[in-house]
Amino acid sequence: MAKRKSQNNSKNVSKRVKFEDENVEKEEVEESFEDFEDIEEEDIISEEEVDEEEEDDEEDDEEDEEDEEEDDDDEEMDHVESVSIERKKAKPLSDNSKYYKAPTNEEIQQLRETTELFNTNIFRLQIEELLSEVKISSKKTVVLEKALHKLKNILDDMKSVPEKSLSEIQKIMKKKNIKIPFPNTPPKDIQYKFAFKAPSSVNLVGSYLLQTAYGSEFDFSKSSFCIRILPSISPSVFPIQRLAPTRNNVRPTVEMKTLPPTPLYNNIILTETAYVSHLNTLHRYVKSSASFKDACILAKVWLNQRDFNGKNGRLSGFIFAMIMAWLMKCGGPDGSKKLGVSYSSFQLFKITMEFIANHDFVNKPIIMTDNQEPISSEFTTDSYASTNEIVIIDMTGRVNLAANITKFSMIEIQNEAKLAIQNLTGEDSADKFDTLFLQKINPCLKYDNILRIPPLSVPAPLYTVSAALDNPSACLHLKRKLPNLLAKALTDRITHICSFNPVLPKGQYSINHWKVNEKMPENNGVIMIGINLEGNQSTRLVDFGPSAEDEVASKAFRELWGEKSELRRFKDGSIKESVVWELNPNNNSNVERSLIVSKMISFILERHIGIKTISSIRDDEEIDQSEETYAHLFSTQLNSFLIPFDAESSYTFKDAMDAFQEFSRTLQGLKELPLEIVSVKACDPGLRYTSVFEPQPVKNSPALEFIITFEQTTRWPDDLKAIQIMKSAFLLELSKVLLKKEVIKDAIINVGNSQHKIEAVGYVDFVLESGYTFRCRIHQEREEVLLRHITDSKAPQAIAQSNEYQECVRALSIIDHHFNHGPILSVKIQNLCLKFPSLSYTIRLVKRWLSAHLFSKYHISDSIIELICAKVYTNPSPWDTPSSGWAGFIHVLYLFAHWNWSEEPLIVPIELESLEPGAEAQQTQNELLYGEKKCFNRTELYQRSRQALLEMKQAKSNPAMKISKKDKKTVNTTSPSIAMVIATELDPEGNYWTGKSQDRPTKMVMKRLKYLSQAALVEMENIILKGHDADLKKLFVTPKNDFDVIIKLDSSKIINYKENLYYDVEHKETKKIKYKNLEIDQEENYEFDQFNPMNYYLFNLKVKIKIIYNI
């Protein structure tokens, strides 16, 4: 239709409105618009009997305690762990009786513990099964016992070797092919003497003797053991006072005025004197409490799954056992016992975990001596605290068990312990067993940001001469001190930070392990720093330092930040040292702000460590090709994937939402229409922060959808086709009014598919003066009422007989998608994006990744993607809630790869109220006051969604629902297989987006998605460990060898080709208009702005394939 210049009169205005479907007459629409211009079971035992039984039990327990010393058999029965009681079915009173005997005391105790401790019997059974699987069977240790006896005989029979010089001992070792592990090779003329003294005694220590050892995940046979020989010395070899934490026992090679203390060195020597003492302590509690061993095994499994268990200076199973033993002696209020010897293993594990999670280890050191007092003035808690970050003094009063644990490592341990307690005490704790004990947490994938520091060729300035006395490894010293430095700079932008060494590939050895015939590995390895961010604070622009009046603090601040620090006066009149971080002037989005923490880390590393990060290198700076030259920060490496190639504009989500809000107010203020617009609801990803690219007010930018609702009236027709015509008439009149008011530049109406005239697919695109395009749809409740009346009144047999029924079902599905579920989801996701700022980044990145792997909206819809991404924020187990898009992206990939989609419903809390304490009480109140039907109880939500999943599977396999081949030719009976169910508080059965929705993904789609996610996680871990951040782009390359047919499109016909990850700068653009005057007219024509040939081609291809193959 020809386009003319806009005029103020209505005649010319009506010509500005175009119809994309020429089958609908404009006169028919205008005539139809004129009609509106005028207007419980019985118990076996009674409660009294139970009370009497309990009173008798208490009396029996008191008598047992009095006779404890005399009756060893009774004592043994009291201490038997509850979960190990053999289940025996109660016997009938007689052979002919239908009544059963009353439960025994042990059975009542077992039932009580199941209810009070385990919440469900399933969780109890899982614990029991886990313990039975990981315990070392005595049948498997026969060979080990023989080996231990033989080894002890060998060690007992060893002879002492007299003193020899360095040259002599080197010749002897060379003949035996043994490399002497000298930390620093001594000169040849040194006067050292080397000798060997035969051991005075050989003792078996460790978890094997205590029966707290367990089979690891790599030892499926549980018959492979590692025997460690630990040299030990007598406590009387060195004077104890000389090994106090404030003493020096390593002499420097240079002259120093004062000798610094060597607490780590001293503590190692003291540890080697306490092996037997520690063994005796733990053995005493193993003997007194039958559950102590199993509690230790549970703790070791939990620690191992989180890569703790003593690795990288973190909590070990031994320290956990020592803390648990101490709590059985004291630790409670007023020094009373916190744990009892009769507690079950689960009680011991849970209460110890609560203590670790909540105790202030930094300010309240633990001392395990009998009287909880220091043994001397040089071994006080203050002397330990002055040289150690965490202090846990053993029962000898000399050894700090936590000497290798840093403050930030303990914070991480406590954070994990708090997550464990939440899982154990939550209402759905039965479903968290896998999270606690079975899922392996990869440290490379759990943090919001990962910093990789390569081996340093020159020790960092932090590694001073005094530091080297107590830390012979520069790498280990840097690993301990770097988190302190970064935490001092990042302040409240982070929640916690920790350092660790990456897992080495098989065949490589660390400083702690190497073969005796090989040279000791260098004390210089890769250091990984894991950082978790504080979502709201991590993106601020200014860091405030001390006041100018505080000279000492100001000097320290300037030493930290150097030239970045400057004195500034702020609006409140204060004058402070501060650091301001500048952003790209053309981009102030959250993605750009997420770079601030990386910039801070890069500056601190270069200033204090002398190493640059890849991201800090300027464009004009030459890059060293050696990848081990630079540090790597990974969390911001994916930002470029969310920016189209050659992006010229810098508009953000806020600009688009501000334009929409202004346009919404204009629509609701219109008085020229027969009916007033009562609501305007956004329902587009671009208006809830989740579109891959931020909306831009430019030509060919996707239209932003919204829905309007008019005030109620009885004048709407009762015919479905007439309703669609009336809605088109309203859109026409609305366009005329807005054009007349010059609110919009153009309006293009699409009345939908002429073959399906009852479907609510019509809309109008408004092109605003600001450049944004908004797509408007009308929601009219009358058509939904008519459709539901038709579908509900039809018999089930009508599915195979009536095309009208199928058309109504399809039309109703469109209404649910566009007008019922879509706006609700849009509001909920928008609220979640405001609560969790990085959720937007995560959703956009996941959509970009799926698109790169050729998943279209027909495979997995935007709604499902956003719900899955929301899950890792609102129900993040086994992780903590992510605070960066990088972490959120990894967690979503992990969910794709490991969730059992076809068997387990996915619970996604999307109501902000459900995330707050007291949600269930608030739910009950809202139901009474407002009639809201929401399910905030996670257990109920899981049960209802799982039941819905089972019912859908049964319906799918029901023979009565099957249709003959003859009927399939005329009736659309295609229905995707049940591949997933996503349940929310408003939709416990999962019907909105996955259950009855036609857009739910198929099993084939989810299977490929699972395969790609698993491959991506493996590649991601390799990239982090090796520092090959350039390979991140490989994550977005899909393997094409699995496809039978590949269709290549002409890039010149794709209007959004610049959004391609592999955009070719030399590709041919669409041929330009030959004549200048036609080019100007073409620029003013908005009719084809939203026409994307690729989308239409993809839709038609999908329809054709479904018809041909009946899928």
| Residue found under tokens 């049948």 | 139
- Whether the per-residue pLDDT at 218 is higher than 60: the answer is no
Mean of the pLDDT values across residues 194-213? 90
Mean of the pLDDT values across residues 184-190? 80
Mean of the pLDDT values across residues 69-87? 39
Q: Which residue has the higher pLDDT, 929 or 793?
A: 793
**Are residues 384 and 504 both part of a single domain?**
no
What is the distance, to the nearest Å, from the Cα of residue 17 to the centroid of all Cα atoms in its chain?
49
845-901 pLDDT, tens per residue? Answer: 999 999 999 998 888 999 999 999 999 999 898 889 999 999 999 999 999 999 999
Contact residues for 321 (Cβ-Cβ < 8 A; gap 6+): 212, 282, 292, 296, 299
The answer to whether residue 207 is domain-embedded is yes
Alpha carbons within 13 angstroms on the beta-carbon side of residue 831 total 14
pLDDT recorded at residue 44:
35
Q: Which of 425, 441, 457 is a domain's end point? A: 441
Q: Which of 830, 848, 874 is a domain's end point? A: 830
- Whether the per-residue pLDDT at 330 is higher than 60: the answer is yes
Q: Which of 422, 441, 460 is a domain's end point? A: 441
Go through the chain and tell me how many residues it has: 1111
Q: Report yes or no: 453 and 631 within 8 Å, Cβ to Cβ.
A: yes
Residues 263 and 128: their CA atoms lie apart, in Å, by 42
Q: Contacts for 558-562 with beta carbons within 8 Å, 24 or more apart?
A: 560/488, 560/489, 560/604, 561/489, 561/603, 562/607
- φ, ψ (nearest 5 deg) of residue 788: -70, -35
The answer to whether residue 551 is domain-embedded is no
531-559 as b/e: b if 16+ CB within 10 A: bbbbbeebbeeebebbeeeeeeebeebbe
| Residue found under tokens 């089958």 | 23
pLDDT recorded at residue 35:
53
**Are residues 1051 and 1067 both part of a single domain?**
yes
**Which CATH number does the domain housing residue 622 bear?**
3.30.70.3020
Strand runs labelled E in 828-961: 906-907
The answer to whether residue 896 is domain-embedded is no
Residue 397's CB: how many other CB atoms inside 10 A?
19
Reduce the DSSP state of residue 816 to 3 states and report it: helix
Domain carrying residue 688: 17-39+659-830
**Are residues 797 and 697 both part of a single domain?**
yes
| Residue found under tokens 């540890």 | 271
Strand partners, 767: 746, 773
Strand 449-453 relative to strand 527-533: parallel, antiparallel, unpaired? antiparallel
Residues 1083 and 699: their CA atoms lie apart, in Å, by 9
**Are residues 604 and 714 both part of a single domain?**
no
Which residue from 534, 443, 531, 450 is spatially nearest to 883, judged by alpha carbons?
534
239-296 pLDDT, tens per residue? Answer: 999 999 999 999 888 888 889 999 999 999 999 999 999 999 999 999 999 999 999 9
pLDDT recorded at residue 106:
64
374-397 pLDDT, tens per residue? Answer: 999 999 999 999 999 999 999 999
Q: Report yes or no: 584 and 616 within 8 Å, Cβ to Cβ.
A: no
Tokens of 717: 């027709």
pLDDT-derived band at 42 (thresholds 50, 70, 90) equals very low
Q: Report yes or no: 410 and 361 within 8 Å, Cβ to Cβ.
A: yes
Least confident of 30-34, 211-215, 336-340, 935-939: 30-34
Strand runs labelled E in 942-1028: 982-983
Q: What is the pTM of this model?
A: 0.85
Mean of the pLDDT values across residues 627-653? 78
| Angstrom distances, CA of residue 380 to CA of 5, 245, 405, 943 | 90, 9, 19, 55
Give me the helices (H) in 675-821, please. Answer: 720-740, 781-793, 803-815
Strand partners, 543: 579
Mean of the pLDDT values across residues 329-338? 84
| End-to-end Cα separation, the chain, in angstroms | 39
The answer to whether residue 69 is domain-embedded is no
The answer to whether residue 746 is domain-embedded is yes
Strand runs labelled E in 943-1090: 982-983
The answer to whether residue 189 is domain-embedded is no
Mean of the pLDDT values across residues 84-98? 48
**Are residues 434 and 475 both part of a single domain?**
no
**Are residues 625 and 476 both part of a single domain?**
yes
| Residue found under tokens 């019912």 | 951
- Provide the number of structural domains found in the chain: 4
854-870 as b/e: b if 16+ CB within 10 A: ebebebbbbbbbbbbbb
pLDDT recorded at residue 238:
92
- Whether the per-residue pLDDT at 661 is higher than 90: the answer is yes
**Are residues 826 and 744 both part of a single domain?**
yes
- Whether the per-residue pLDDT at 89 is higher than 80: the answer is no
- Whether the per-residue pLDDT at 70 is higher than 80: the answer is no
Residues 1106 and 1111: their CA atoms lie apart, in Å, by 5
Mean of the pLDDT values across residues 644-658? 79
| Angstrom distances, CA of residue 491 to CA of 545, 719, 1016 | 10, 65, 33
Least confident of 499-508, 725-734, 833-842, 886-895: 499-508
Residues 591 and 837: their CA atoms lie apart, in Å, by 10
The answer to whether residue 766 is domain-embedded is yes
pLDDT-derived band at 1011 (thresholds 50, 70, 90) equals very high
Least confident of 170-174, 513-517, 824-828: 513-517
**Which CATH number does the domain housing residue 332 bear?**
1.10.1410.10
- Give me the amino acid identity at 577: E
Averaged confidence pLDDT in the chain: 81
**Are residues 694 and 595 both part of a single domain?**
no
- Whether the per-residue pLDDT at 970 is higher than 70: the answer is no
- Whether the per-residue pLDDT at 603 is higher than 50: the answer is yes
- Whether the per-residue pLDDT at 111 is higher than 90: the answer is no
Least confident of 150-154, 383-387, 882-886, 1057-1061: 1057-1061
pLDDT-derived band at 116 (thresholds 50, 70, 90) equals low
Is residue 385 packed enough to be buried (19+ CB in 10 Å), middle (13-18) or exposed (0-12)?
A: middle
- Whether the per-residue pLDDT at 144 is higher than 60: the answer is yes
**Are residues 242 and 349 both part of a single domain?**
yes
Mean of the pLDDT values across residues 546-553? 93
Strand runs labelled E in 800-918: 906-907
Least confident of 37-41, 276-280, 421-425, 759-763: 37-41
Q: Report yes or no: 913 and 828 within 8 Å, Cβ to Cβ.
A: no
The answer to whether residue 705 is domain-embedded is yes
- Whether the per-residue pLDDT at 74 is higher than 70: the answer is no
**Are residues 431 and 458 both part of a single domain?**
no
**Are residues 293 and 428 both part of a single domain?**
yes
Which residue from 288, 315, 287 is spatially nearest to 300, judged by alpha carbons?
315
Q: Which residue has the higher pLDDT, 751 or 50?
A: 751
Cis status, amide bond into 878, omega within 30 of 0: yes
Most confident of 456-460, 644-648, 975-979, 1107-1111: 456-460
pLDDT-derived band at 942 (thresholds 50, 70, 90) equals confident
**Are residues 239 and 380 both part of a single domain?**
yes
